[in-house]
Amino acid sequence: MEEFLFISPFNADVRVASPGRINLIGEHTDYNLGYVLPTAIDKKIYFELKKNGSPSTCNILSETFNSRLSFDLNNFEKSQVTWENYILGVVNEIQKKGKFLQGFDCKINSKLPIGAGISSSAALECGLAAGLNELFDLELTKEEIVILSQAAENNFVGSNCGIMDQYASVMSKKEHLILLDCLSLEAEFIPANFKTCKMLLIDTKVSHSLADGEYNSRRKECETALAIFQKNDTAIQSLRDVNLATLEKYKTQLSEKEYNRVLYVLQENKRVLKGSELLKTGKLEDFGELMYQSHTGLRDLYEVSCPELDFLVNYTKGKNYIYGSRMMGGGFGGCTINIMEESKIEKFSLEVSQAYSAEFGITPDTITVTPGEGTFVERL
C-alpha cells in the first residue's frame, strides 16, 4: 500500500472537536418538521487539518477505523465504505455551494462510540465541514454548516435524516438543552438543571441491519399520510398542522401503519413542548413519565424499538431512583437514555449489565453524559 502522505509530526493548521448528541425527547419528529429536545455531549470526535500544497489531493486518516482515504477533489464517487461517504458527502456539498477547496490532509480520532445512536455520523460531518470552513476561509455560517452536513447525509450517504443531530452537534451550549423547532430552526436554550441526577446512556451494542431502510420507510409513510391530508386541506404544510380531529376525519384514507405513525408524531410533539416546560421548573418525575410514554409510542405505534431496547427500559421500571428511560435516536439498537440519581449509577450499571448479558449474551456499555458545547474550532 502506498505510504500515507502525512508529514510527521502532523503540524496541523486547524483543530476541531465535534461532539455527539443526546436527545431527551422528540424522536422521529425532526423530519416531520416538529420539535426536538437534544444537546451535544462531552464525548467528541477530534480532527486535525492542514493544507498539503496539492491542488486537489486529499488524504484522510481515521485512527478510529485504522483506515485511510485518499481522493481527488475533481474526481470522486460514492464509496462502499460508510465512514468515507460522510467525508466525501461533506466535500461534495461544499463544492456544490461554489466554495473553493484545495488539497488537504486530515487526521480523525473518535472518542465517541460508533453506531451507538449518539450521532457519530453528524459529529463527523459537522466537524469536517467546520474544519474545512476554517482552513479555507469559506465563510460558511454555523447554520450553513448544519444544513450542508445534513445534505451530505441525505444525498451522499443515502439516509434521509432530519436536522436534529447536526443542529445539536454544532449549536449546543454547555449545560443547556435545545428546544428546537425543526420548521423555523428557532431554538430556545433551556438550562439542563438535573439537580442530583445525571443522564446515563446504556448502549445495547446491537444495530439491527434493517435500520437504514426502516428509517427511510418511516419517513415515507409520514409523507404519504401528509399528502392525503394536504389533498383534503391545502392549509396543511406539515404534520404539525394536523390535529387529532383531522387524523380521525381521514382515518379511513390511511393505512393502519400510516395512522399509527401520525398518531405517534402528534403525541410526541406535544410531549416535547410539555416536557420542556416541566424541565424548566425542575419537575423531573413528570418529565420522566413522558420519556416512558415516548418509548411506548416508539415501540407500539412507530415500531422502531427492538427487544434489547425494550428490555433495558423495562428494567428501570419501579426503581425510585430512576425518573425516566426510553430508547434514543433512530431505533433498532443503539442506546437508551435514562435520568437517574447520580449516587446510584455505579450500582445500577453493574446490575443492569448483568441482567442484560444474562438475557442477550452481550455486555452493554454504560456511559454517563453531561450536556456539552457544540463544535469547537481552533486555528493553530
Least distance between ligand GAF and beta carbon 107 (Å):
25
Beta pairing class for 57-62 and 104-110: parallel
Q: Total number of residues binding ligand GAF (CB under 6 A)?
A: 11
Q: Does 33 bind ligand GAF (CB under 6 A)?
A: no
Of 24, 91, 106, 164, the residue at the interface with ligand GAF (CB under 6 A) is 164
Nearer to ligand GAF, 269 or 338 (CB): 269
Least distance between ligand GAF and beta carbon 7 (Å):
36
Interface segment toward ligand GAF; rule CB under 6 A; list 24-32, 198-206, 244-252, 352-360 = 24-32
Is 165 an active-site residue?
yes
Window 317 to 346, contacts with ligand GAF (CB under 6 A): 329-330
Of 105, 165, 203, 258, the residue at the interface with ligand GAF (CB under 6 A) is 165
Least distance between ligand GAF and beta carbon 123 (Å):
12
Of 31, 47, 287, 315, the residue at the interface with ligand GAF (CB under 6 A) is 31
Least distance between ligand GAF and beta carbon 348 (Å):
25
Residue 317 CB: number of other CB atoms within 10 A?
Answer: 9
The active-site residue out of 30, 105, 165, 203 is: 165
Least distance between ligand GAF and beta carbon 215 (Å):
7
Q: Does 221 bind ligand GAF (CB under 6 A)?
A: no
Nearer to ligand GAF, 298 or 345 (CB): 298
Q: Does 308 bind ligand GAF (CB under 6 A)?
A: no
Which residues are tagged catalytic? 165
Question: In the complex, which residues of this chain contact ligand GAF (CB under 6 A)?
Answer: 27-28, 30-31, 119, 161-162, 164-165, 329-330
